[in-house]
Chain A
Amino acid sequence: MNKKTVLILACPLVLLLMSLKTAFISSSEEKPLTDSLKRPAKFGFGRRATAQEIAAWDIDVRPDGKGLPVGQGDVKKGRLLYAQKCAMCHGVDGTEKPGIKLPGSALVSDTLATSKSKTIGNYWPYATTLFDYMRRAMPYNMPGSLSNDEVYSITAYLLNANKIIKADMVLDAKNLYKVVMPAKKLFIMDDRKGGPEIK
């Protein structure tokens, strides 16, 4: 490397060092040495979810019926399915089996709010919740194994056993959410707010 080349290379380097020094001094005078970067509008991590991916997981059902799938079920089929898939824990007559602890009988038409056990008839404010919960989590030994028709049927059977719908009603996406539950009128939103009052 000759002298000339060294000079050519060195000049920009000196300039760069000088400018760096100036930049450092000016920035440290303005701000303490901390994260001074502004957050980007988007980080760009993650990827767009496909419609198929969303459909595979989007199993929730809302009280207004959003999310109820195509299909239907009736009380008669539901009674049979209950005997096959539910009775081993919940009991054929709705009495829980020994060694199994349940919140209450699935088949009792008890509509007294003061009753000790919490049942569909006295404590479930929305019929859609029955469908949503059974489809995602029941039967306990085979969660997520029920078809939509099966869930409609078992829902119909339980609602009928709790004397909420008639025995000949066929449930589907158009009518399940319209079923009015006896307990709905009992529920109130939280009214605690902190502060001195005990609620």
Chain B
Amino acid sequence: MEKGGNKNQRKATGKISRRTLLGGVIAAAVLPVQSLFAGEMQAETLVLPEITDDPTKTIGPGPSPLGKRSTFEQPVRKPSDISSRTPLQDMHSTITPADLHFERHHAGIPTIDPAKHELLIHGLVNNPMKFSVADIKRFPSVNRTCFIECAGNFRTGKAEMTPQDILGLTSQSEWTGVMLSILFNEVGISDKAKWFLAEGSDAAVMTRTIPIAKAWDDAMIVYAQNGEAIRPEQGYPIRLLLPGFEGNMNIKWLRRIELSEEPYMTREETSKYTYPVKDKIRMFSFELDARSIITYPSYPQKVNKGWIEIRGIAWSGRGKVEKVEVSTDAGKTWQLANLQEPVLSKAHTYFRFLWNWKGEATAILSRVTDETGYLQPTLAQLAEARGVNLGGYHMNPITAWQIKNDGTVLFKPETIK
């Protein structure tokens, strides 16, 4: 399997002659990565360890306070001005390493001292209260493994696109925190409260309104991600977690919650995160509908004739993945893929399908059905339901990969207009 990261590494090692590396005179060769993969990475240095023909004859480095990736693996996010995307094609399972979790923020990442940070809960409550981060950590905690996906997570337009390019704004973590219902019980919620406003303490002072039913269902205030404190770009020290809801609503750097009779109609829930449906504009679409993508094989990987394990992820903001079907004949026939157990609700679910490729040019696709009976649509079906002026939000079409005779894999972009 030729994954993007490995390929980059080979390019990198190719710049140094094998003799230099084998000579062992230098313990480490430092290469400026930026010159090799301009635009792909930040200015970082790639340190190549001494490589010998037989690692059993040389004693390696000892223990260290902080682990690092193998220098042969270079998965990286793909940043733009406003977001960075998870390299889904480099992932082997469903947990996203925290440093590869996608980012989307609206006025940069704030630096927050957890000792000074507080959460205010007020509005239609019996007792308006402030909670320090230490207070929040004292409450009974739970772990929840779920995805967070940006509502604007669909790109198309050319064949040379990776899963990261197409829908890299989805990632999964095991989050730890307190159920929001416990905090709501602590302040006492008025019967009149039907919504709550959540506000971040970034420079955008981001706000969204959330129906109160979500608080009594599965909303959390989380402070840890994959066992350690949340990363700054994910909302350190605390963020709201709304499993299955638009990423934007999972307010990061959370500082305030206000209980209200009605929604606030903030900028992010009116002029953004809304989309045309025929001659109307749909707002308050919170749940992310079911979606799947084959991550292997995908562009820019190449395949050989013979057995190929098709791999990918499927998820639904409405519950569990019921089944995933794979087509290896451009959508003419579909067969069931194997789902990796345990299948969790509102979580990326890994699927696999064994395929014996004879070398014919074809297209491979996946489609998911969730536990509500929703079947992932084609782009044409979405256009039929919503009209051809589809906005960029809540787009979950079936993704097809073209397999060429020579084993080249390319994205199959579709047009609707």
CA distance A183 to B270 in the complex (A): 10
Give the contacts of B87-131 with A (CB-CB under 8 A): 106-107, 120-122, 127-131
Flag if A189 contacts B128 (CB, 8 Å). Answer: no
Flag if A58 contacts B287 (CB, 8 Å). Answer: no
Flag if A190 contacts B286 (CB, 8 Å). Answer: yes
In the complex, which of the residues B130, B135, B264 contacts A60, with contact meaning CB atoms closer than 8 Å? Answer: B264
Stretch at the interface among B43-51, B70-78, B253-261: B253-261
Stretch at the interface among A22-30, A87-95, A135-143, A159-167: A135-143
Flag if B255 contacts A57 (CB, 8 Å). Answer: yes
Q: Say whether B307 faces chain A, with CB atoms less than 8 Å apart.
A: no
Residues from chain A with a CB closer than 8 A to the CB of B377 are 198
Flag if B287 contacts A192 (CB, 8 Å). Answer: yes
* Size of A's binding interface in residues, CB under 8 A: 49
Flag if B120 contacts A57 (CB, 8 Å). Answer: yes
Flag if A194 contacts B372 (CB, 8 Å). Answer: yes
Flag if B270 contacts A132 (CB, 8 Å). Answer: no
CB distance from A124 to the nearest CB of B (A): 5
Q: Which residue of B lies closest to A46 (CB)?
A: B131
Give the contacts of A176-195 with B (CB-CB under 8 A): 183, 186-192, 194-195
CA distance A48 to B127 in the complex (A): 7
Flag if B272 contacts A103 (CB, 8 Å). Answer: yes
CA distance A194 to B279 in the complex (A): 22
Give the contacts of B225-271 with A (CB-CB under 8 A): 255-256, 258, 260, 262, 264-267, 270-271
In the complex, which of the residues A58, A101, A198 contacts B122, with contact meaning CB atoms closer than 8 Å? Answer: A58
Q: Say whether A42 faces chain B, with CB atoms less than 8 Å apart.
A: yes
Q: Say whether B139 faces chain A, with CB atoms less than 8 Å apart.
A: yes
CA distance A188 to B278 in the complex (A): 11
Residues from chain A with a CB closer than 8 A to the CB of B120 are 49, 53-54, 57
Residues from chain B with a CB closer than 8 A to the CB of A58 are 122, 256, 258
Residues from chain A with a CB closer than 8 A to the CB of B185 are 42
Flag if A186 contacts B122 (CB, 8 Å). Answer: no
CB distance from B354 to the nearest CB of A (A): 29
Residues from chain A with a CB closer than 8 A to the CB of B136 are 45
In the complex, which of the residues B122, B207, B283 contacts A187, with contact meaning CB atoms closer than 8 Å? Answer: B283
Flag if A123 contacts B138 (CB, 8 Å). Answer: no
Q: Say whether A71 faces chain B, with CB atoms less than 8 Å apart.
A: no
Residues from chain A with a CB closer than 8 A to the CB of B132 are 46
Known contacts: A43-B139, A47-B129, A49-B128. The answer to whether A125 contacts B374 by CB under 8 A is no
Flag if A190 contacts B282 (CB, 8 Å). Answer: yes
Q: Say whether A114 faces chain B, with CB atoms less than 8 Å apart.
A: yes
Known contacts: A48-B129, A143-B203, A186-B280. The answer to whether A198 contacts B373 by CB under 8 A is no
Residues from chain A with a CB closer than 8 A to the CB of B343 are none
Q: Say whether A31 faces chain B, with CB atoms less than 8 Å apart.
A: no
Q: Say whether A82 faces chain B, with CB atoms less than 8 Å apart.
A: no
Residues from chain A with a CB closer than 8 A to the CB of B271 are 103, 118, 123-124, 129
Give the contacts of A131-157 with B (CB-CB under 8 A): 132-133, 136-137, 140, 143-144
Residues from chain B with a CB closer than 8 A to the CB of A123 are 271, 281
CA distance A60 to B269 in the complex (A): 14
Q: Say whether B31 faces chain A, with CB atoms less than 8 Å apart.
A: no
Stretch at the interface among B16-24, B292-300, B381-389: B381-389
Flag if A187 contacts B205 (CB, 8 Å). Answer: no
Flag if A133 contacts B280 (CB, 8 Å). Answer: no
CA distance A158 to B375 in the complex (A): 44
Flag if A60 contacts B122 (CB, 8 Å). Answer: no
Q: Which residue of B lies closest to A61 (CB)?
A: B264
Residues from chain B with a CB closer than 8 A to the CB of A140 are 107
Flag if B280 contacts A46 (CB, 8 Å). Answer: no
Residues from chain A with a CB closer than 8 A to the CB of B256 are 57-58
CA distance A89 to B383 in the complex (A): 34
CA distance A64 to B265 in the complex (A): 10
CB distance from A69 to the nearest CB of B (A): 15
Known contacts: A60-B199, A64-B262, A190-B283. The answer to whether A196 contacts B131 by CB under 8 A is no
Flag if A195 contacts B285 (CB, 8 Å). Answer: no
Flag if A195 contacts B373 (CB, 8 Å). Answer: yes
Q: Say whether B53 faces chain A, with CB atoms less than 8 Å apart.
A: no
Known contacts: A54-B120, A194-B287, A194-B374. The answer to whether A136 contacts B281 by CB under 8 A is no
6 further A-B pairs in the complex, CB-CB below 8 A; given A60-B258, A188-B280: A57-B255, A62-B264, A125-B270, A143-B204, A189-B282, A190-B286
Subset of 24 A-B contacts with CB under 8 Å? A42-B186, A43-B139, A43-B182, A45-B131, A46-B132, A46-B186, A57-B120, A59-B205, A62-B264, A125-B265, A126-B265, A129-B266, A129-B270, A133-B266, A144-B203, A183-B281, A189-B284, A194-B287, A194-B318, A194-B319, A195-B374, A198-B377, A199-B385, A199-B386
10 A-B pairs with the lowest CB-CB distances in the bound complex, closest first = A194-B372, A190-B285, A133-B267, A46-B131, A136-B205, A45-B135, A49-B128, A194-B318, A49-B130, A198-B377
